[in-house]
Amino acid sequence: MSDLRPLRLRNSLSGRVERFDPARPDEVRMYTCGLTVYARGHIGNFRTFVGQDLLRRFLEWKGYRVLQVQNFTDVDDKTIRGAGEAGETLRDYTTRFIELYHADADALGVRRAHHYPRATDPEYIAAMVRLVERLLERGAAYRSGGSVYFRIAAYPDYGRLSGAAVEGRLAGARVDADEYDKESAADFVLWKATEDGEPTWDAPFGAGRPGWHLECSAMALELLGSGFDLHCGGVDLKFPHHENEIAQSEAATGEPFVRHWFHCEHLLVEGRKMSKSLGNHFTVRELIEEGVSSAALRYLLASVHYRKQLNFTRDGLRQAETAVGRVNALLARVPESSASGPFVPADPGVRACLDRFEEALNDDLNVSRALAEVFFALRQANQGLNRKDAEDGAGVAEWAAAIRSMNEVFGVFEMEGAPDPSSGEDLVEEIEGWIRERRDARRRRDYARADAIREQLRARGIALEDTPDGTTWRRLD
Ligand code: AMP
Ligand code: ZN
């Protein structure tokens, strides 16, 4: 990591773009609110997981060691209801969705976290019980009707993250649900009295089960300690989940909980909120089964700034397929160098391009500018290949190495599940465009250009055939 070129990132707590400085110089401790495992995650969830993965990869690219913890919420109102309806134990029911999460996240190239605590693992239940005891001792929690509630009047900073208004509500209005609106900010449940048949754990303050908010505080404090660097989630988690995490953690420890809060905006589908009733609710698996490549899906999810809503459209997916295909076509022609160690370009143009790439991402993760550098490098490499003289050989290799380096952050090129070069309507259009361009080149007697076009297409599995009636194309087997 370079002190001279620090990352500047918006901190939801201050509402400002700030210099990101981890507490320890070379290490970033990062907590990601993971999936509530009552259903298979949808592509909206994965917009947030890919956004967080991009941030983690960029920190690693800059040289930080990142320690990432991502939980699974395997006990809350929704998981209990789901398991009950399915007639399964909570453990069996939630384990299925955890496995599906890993399958989808792996398909999308999301780097694995270092720890995946499950809220119901005995060590974390024990940590939650300790946290509640501490809050009771400090007068920041109280018991009522067999449950334990957090007293928001005991935490004057309540509302700092989300702007939740608490005036007039400090006199013990209570809420038992895991999810509720800002308008109903109230004392929230830490430990719930359970009903018959619900999973229950013993505790000195009465048998029951944890509330959702308590779980993340306990797991994060247990694995990362107070004052860790980065806490991430989708914007919907700011209130009440993250607001409550801060309140109960800080009230219990007396120390700042998190240095930097990172929130990803939502994904919409064709401009509308994703919902089962609108029929626009997709999982990663469903899209892959339809023939969408996971690389194109990842590209689409990663290519929109994390603070902008991402409008997921079929058209966007097609453009993503084309973009990934173009870069893969080049990389297929330029084998990876076998040199080990970090890539240090000799060419000043390549160095400048990588510098601009880093600057773009240092600027609150400006992915559009960063991707523009990938495509700049692509053009340089393709031009070098088309010139085909020996002098350009080294240049092409360096531009390709630069693309591979930038791809450490984006993780979309040369991945398994790359677009099939022989599918897609836009590909037909694109090939026809190349055929026209090649015909024009031949008319100009620019045979080098014409040959380069033929070769580029061949590298993508497309063969051109010249016939007396013009040029046709076919897929190579
Ligand atoms: P959940 O399983 O509901 O706790 O959500 C897991 C993660 O996905 C959280 O960080 C949510 O904020 C995030 N998330 C949920 N819906 C969307 C969406 N439509 N777009 C982006 N992120 C979402
Ligand atoms: Zn959480």
Nearest to 149 by CA among 139, 158, 159: 139
> In what side-by-side order are the strands of the sheet with 228-234?
65-70, 27-32, 228-234, 258-264
Q: Which of 193, 256, 198 is nearest to 79 (CA)?
A: 198
What is d(CA 330, CA 401) in angstroms, rounded to the nearest whole number?
11
Please determine, for residue 243, whether its predicted confidence score (pLDDT) is greater than 80: yes
pLDDT at 279: 79
Query: For residue 421, what pLDDT is reported?
Result: 44
Neighbours of ion ligand 2 (CB under 5 A): 33, 216
Length of the chain: 477
Can you give the pLDDT at residue 423?
A: 47
pLDDT tier for residue 1 given thresholds of 50, 70 and 90: low
Element (H, E) at 102: helix 90-107
More confident residue, 208 or 438: 208
- Point out the least confidently predicted range of 287-291, 364-368, 407-411, 417-421: 417-421
Tokens for 427, please give them.
Answer: 């590909």
Nearest CA to ligand 1 atom 9: 234
* Cα–Cα nearest to 137, from 50, 52, 252, 59: 252
pLDDT of the residue at 172: 64
Question: Which of left, alpha, beta for 33 (phi over 0: left; psi -120 to 50: alpha)?
Answer: beta
Q: Is 274 in the pocket of ligand 1 (CB under 6 A)?
A: yes
List of residues 6+ apart from 429 with CB closer than 8 A: none
The closest ligand to the CA of 237 turns out to be 1
364 band by pLDDT with thresholds 50, 70 and 90? very high
Candidate from 18-27, 90-99, 402-411, 437-446 with smallest mean pLDDT = 437-446
pLDDT at 391: 57
- Ligand 1 near 363 CB (within 6 A): no
Higher pLDDT, 77 or 185: 77
Q: Residue 317's pLDDT is what?
A: 96
Query: Which stretches of 194-293 are assigned E, i.e. beta strand?
Result: 209-210, 228-234, 258-264, 267-269, 272-273
Structure tokens at 225: 């300690």
How far apart are the CA of 233 and the centre of ligand 1, in A? Answer: 7
For 261, half-sphere exposure in the C-beta direction (CA atoms, 13 angstrom radius) is 23
Domains and CATH numbers, the chain: 8-264 (3.40.50.620), 326-419 (1.20.120.640)
pLDDT for res 426: 58
Q: Residue 341 — pLDDT band, cuts 50, 70, 90? A: confident
* Cα separation, 275 vs 281, whole angstroms: 5
Compute, in angstroms, the gap from residue 255 CA to the centroid of ligand 2.
19
Q: Is the CB of 43 under 6 A from ligand 1?
A: no
Q: Indicate the helix (H) or strand (E) that contains 245.
A: helix 243-253
Q: What is the mean pLDDT of residues 254-270?
A: 97
Question: Whole-angstrom Cα distance, residue 140 to residue 138?
Answer: 5
Q: What does the pLDDT look like over 151-184, one tens digit per residue? A: 999 999 999 999 887 765 555 678 888 888 877 7
The pLDDT mean for the chain works out to 91
Q: Do 142 and 148 contact (CB within 8 A), yes or no?
A: yes
- Residue 422 pLDDT level (bands cut at 50, 70, 90): very low
Q: Which pLDDT score, from 0 to 100, does residue 119 have? A: 97
Higher-confidence residue: 327 or 437? Answer: 327
Query: Which of 142-156, 203-217, 232-246, 326-340 has the least mean pLDDT?
Result: 326-340
Residue with CA nearest ligand 1 atom 11: 234
Q: Which of 33, 48, 97, 230 to mutate to test the pocket of ligand 1 (most atoms within 8 A of CB)?
A: 48
The CB of 234 under 6 Å from ligand 1? The reply is: yes
Lowest mean pLDDT among 30-44, 378-392, 405-419: 378-392
pLDDT of 304 > 80? The answer is yes
